[in-house]
Amino acid sequence: MRVIDNFLPKEDFETLQKIVMGDKIGWCFNYKTNYNSKELKDFYFCHTLFNCNPLSDYYEVFANKLISKMDLFALRRVKLNCYPWSEKLVEHKLHTDYSVKHKALILYFNTCNGFTMFENNIKIESVENRALLFDGSKKHRSTNCTNDKARFNININYI
pLDDT tens per residue across span 11-25: 999 999 999 999 999
- Please give the pLDDT value at position 39: 65
Mean pLDDT of 40-52: 89
Q: How many CB atoms are closer than 10 A to CB 30?
A: 15
> Alpha-carbon distance 141 to 92, whole Å?
6
- In this prediction, residue 41 carries a pLDDT of 67
Band (33; pLDDT cuts 50, 70, 90): confident
Q: Note the pLDDT of residue 120.
A: 96
Q: Which residues pair with 117 in a beta bridge?
A: 123, 141
- The answer on pLDDT for 149 being more than 90 is yes
- Under the banding of pLDDT at 50, 70 and 90, the label for residue 30 is confident
Q: Sorting pLDDT into bands at 50, 70 and 90, what band is 105?
A: very high
d(Cα 76, Cα 43) in Å, to the nearest integer?
23
pLDDT at residue 42 tops 90: no
- Predicted pLDDT of residue 31: 79
What radius of gyration, in Å, describes the C-alpha atoms of the chain?
A: 14
Q: Each residue of 62-79: pLDDT tens digit?
A: 999 999 999 999 999 999
- In 3D, which of 132, 112, 20, 3 has the Cα closest to residue 65? 20
Rounded Cα distance between 29 and 52, Å, is 21
Residue 38 in this model has a pLDDT that exceeds 90:
no
